[in-house]
Structure 1
């Protein structure tokens, strides 16, 4: 089976297995196409074209499209950059005047829309709650946040922190700059967290909520002066 689809709602969780008790591993956002590799009346296994992430979503939330439409959606859309954009649905039923609220990060076809700076996107995202598997302003995890920011630069990062750490070139601490990614964990074989470097001493990351905290050569320190994460490496994405 090699069918193609997108979703009929603003966002939906991707599950590791085909049941709601399974672990949530990521999510599909409005406007993102995927291939369907397995399917029954209740559940379908999909692979996102954006980052090749696989998992299961409920079949009733799928809108079936052809390969050409999937490629157009994948290549010719931009991410929504404001909260709850009131957007007319056109790929479900063009004869009906249906609207949907979209989160920051969902994909729409508006080539003339001016894209904001990453600083403005970060400002929008500050305070968004942490959500395991989240990739948008309705809740986001650490690697979902860095992936989202790079989406606005038209750069496709892998979904998970350990895979994002394999991209780009390593930068020594002290030579880092805005836009570099900092990775954290026990060791480089056990990367558990990633954040976006905003300045020499400031990191933006999703931890509890999306927030800014102090970055040092040792790691992240919270507002109480307690170290919360051990710095492993910094990568620059070209």
Structure 2
């Protein structure tokens, strides 16, 4: 296996090289346009992603490349822990989406807003639009900007106002505030970016901004995080849901209203009281 890094803003991870449909071309292009892809899909088309997409990689995210064939790379994503493989979440991405790991740098920072523009220099020309939860190593600060290392030996600058050091302490209020930025965002199966999130993708992305290494899938999150009694939950904790005899299928942040969560395909990210169906399938809770 070899190490690589995602060199595009968002690379969707697929179950196989044959999984993408014609309508998915914007997501698999050498320069993917995930915003246009998400906008092009109606609810029925989004349902068609079930069994096709798995997760998403963000800019500069490291991967292990297992094999390559026909322009595709079989990868493991170590920043996305999974019970499927101890080395990281498995799947397939276009090889054109991968480049060399960023050069040495320190002080990792995360993008805290839905999207942020990487610049050539402080106040300079735009290079690329990056998503929430993108984590980059920084090596310099000047005039309210931070210089970050990018794949293939490059650098760029981001305003300090859109960044957060991942080693800063965080609390429940910050978890909810970060998640609430996406209220109204349409659910996307396998989504971990500002253009679409699924339930566990929301939890994983918010956790990444806060420097927390949280598994990618809901059932792994429930297994990994300390469980707490349901009658002791506080805002910022997690609710988990499963039907009798089934694996956990849903997760959301406990909120003063009820639950902040990416509901399901065809619906939008919401912060609402628990419905009767949700209460009947609520199985456990966990705390970071």
Interval containing the TM-score (normalised by the shorter chain): 0.7 to 0.9
Distance change >3 Å, CA 161–CA 102, structure 1 → 2:
same
* 1:62 pairs with one of 91, 98, 103: 98
**Corresponding residue for residue 166 of structure 1:** 223
Over aligned residue pairs, what C-alpha RMSD do you find? 2.5
Q: What is the CA distance between 1:196 and its match in structure 2?
A: 0.8
Secondary structure of the 1:118 match is: helix
Q: How does 1:1-238 map to 2 (within 5 A)?
A: 2-19=1-18, 20-21=20-21, 23-51=52-80, 52-65=88-101, 69=102, 76-88=107-119, 99-110=127-138, 113=160, 115=164, 117-187=174-244, 189-199=246-256, 202-207=258-263, 208-214=267-273, 220-221=274-275, 227-228=277-278, 230-237=281-288
* Gap regions ≥5 residues in structure 1: 91-96, 215-219
Distance 2:240 2:272 in 1: 14
3-state DSSP class of the match of 2:230? coil
2:237/2:287 contact within 8 Å kept: yes
Point out which structure has higher relative CO (alpha carbons under 8 A, 6+ apart).
2
Match of 2:37 in 1: none
- The change in CA–CA distance for 1:88 and 1:43 in structure 2 (over 3 A counts) is same
Do the aligned partners of 1:4 and 1:34 also contact (CA within 8 Å) in 2?
Answer: yes
Contact 1:187 1:232 (C-alpha < 8 Å) held by counterparts = no
> If the length of structure 1 is used for normalisation, what is the TM-score?
0.80
TM-score by length of 2: 0.67
Q: Secondary structure at the match of 1:109?
A: strand
Q: Counting helix residues as a fraction of each chain, which structure ranks higher?
A: 2
